[in-house]
Structure 1
Amino acid sequence: MLADSIGARYIHCDVAKESDVESAIQLAITWKGKLDILFSNAGIGGTASSITSLDMEQVKHLVSINLLGNVHAIKHAARAMLRCNTKGSIICTSSSAGIMGGLASHPYSLSKAEEVKKLVGDQGSLLRGKAATVEDVAQAAVFLASDDTGFITAHNLIIDGGYTSAISSLSFIYK
């Protein structure tokens, strides 16, 4: 099993189910004695459609994973950290689609927008002709989990090369 080969543990976790999230966090505490870092990164996209023809079951499904999954993770991680007297880091990822309309399906954008406050400015795009990579996001998560960020809290760190700062529509990037 991959988890064993890298010195990790695996548990199936459907973040839409609060009990699964609670079990995953309990596994970490049982294994390591405390929880230092929670990185909530689960999310799914939706099918693009007109706002007038939304499939409300799909909207509920997206919200249950993209929004409530983070709520479940934050709730149980915070409880665990308080119980173990740990000053840890809770990191949740979102999407540019949650900050700027027109980049994804309505249900996806809705579910991501509800995760964080909108902090869009009117500066020009800092885009350098590339999309964010997995490494870009991972480096930011490692930074946020480090001791160097002890006073950074409730911050929306946007890792998007300036997409959401641009005034013009950048939906062409995702085509």
Structure 2
Amino acid sequence: MAGKVITITGAGSGIGRASAILMAARGANLVLVDYNTATGQETLELVKEQDGEAIFVQADVSKEDDVQNYIQQAVDTYGKIDVAFNNAGILQQFQSFHSMALEDFSRIIDVNLKGIFLGMKHALRVMDEQGYGHIINTASTTAIRAEHSLAAYTASKHGVAGLTKAAALEYVRKGIRVNAICPGGVATTLTAAVPQMLQDSGYMPEEFPSMRIGRYAEPRELAELVAFLASDGSSYMTGSIIVADGGLTL
């Protein structure tokens, strides 16, 4: 991974932070992107502490100007983008379909789907000019099955899977690969409140809160998958929707 330039959205916590730390340790040059400046800077310091090379760019991934800015800063700083890890996302409140406010639905779609689209669009522009590149998107197990009381989130992650496959097909002969990961329960700040949210909603799937494997994944476990995809070891993979869920969807 030495010398690879990798953009990471949602780098301030969870899978994004764990992936940044791991890939920096393996020699990658990173462009860390997060909406939260404080947590993004914390990740930058953690990378720097292990002599990693990185910059931080604050951005709202649902805003095209912000996405164009961090992509341009990556090119201006490092001259290329080898891998774009579109990881930023938010979780909706568990609620019935008919009680969901339009503004809540729109916010989930804006961040989780439009944010992925914009990250792909502007990274693909750079990669198309380069003649190579790899995009990795964070989807979810809700990309391959519905989850009760999570209609907007499910729709957004199904959309991520669709965008991944569509771009993989379009760019397969252009030296550009596109894949997605589908985590189940991961021990992050985003998912810490899920058990209580489920209890409050009155619906508790049999696999929650401990998952079928008996625990949530650690962010580092998903980071290992991301690092593999970002490496040359995944060179024959494109259009793959990779489930890493501790048996959640069995």
Taking structure 2 as the reference length, the TM-score comes to 0.58
1:170 alignment partner in structure 2: none
**1:66 aligned to 2:151?**
no
After TM superposition, give the deviation of residue 72 of structure 1 in Å.
0.5
CA distance in structure 2 between the partners assigned to 1:81 and 1:71 by the alignment: 15
Task: Indicate the SS of the match to 1:9.
Answer: strand
Structural mapping, 1:4-153, within 5 Å? 5=48, 6-85=52-131, 87-102=132-147, 105-116=150-161, 127-153=212-238
SS at match of 1:39: strand
**In 1, Cα distance between the equivalents of 2:68 and 2:216?**
34
**Distance in structure 2 (CA, Å) of the matches to 1:94 and 1:15:** 15
C-alpha RMSD over aligned residues:
2.0
Query: How many equivalent residue pairs?
Result: 157
Partner AA of 1:74 in structure 2 = M
Q: Which runs of 4+ in 1 moved over 4 A?
A: none
The equivalent of 1:154 in structure 2 is: 239
Deviation digits for residues 97-143 of structure 1, max 9, x if unmatched? Answer: 332223562211221122115xxxxxxx9942122221121111111
Matches of 1:104 and 1:37, distance apart in 2: 34
| Counterpart residue number, 1:120 | none
TM-score by length of 1: 0.82
Identity of aligned residues (%): 32
- Structure 1 stretch 57-66 or stretch 107-116: which is displaced more? 107-116
Please give the alpha-carbon distance, in whole angstroms, between the structure 2 residues aligned to 1:107 and 1:150. 33
How many angstroms does 1:160 deviate by?
0.6
User: In 1, are the aligned partners of 2:97 and 2:149 still within 8 Å (CA)?
Assistant: no
Task: Give 5+ residue unaligned stretches, structure 2.
Answer: 1-40, 163-206
Which has a greater percent of strand?
Answer: 2
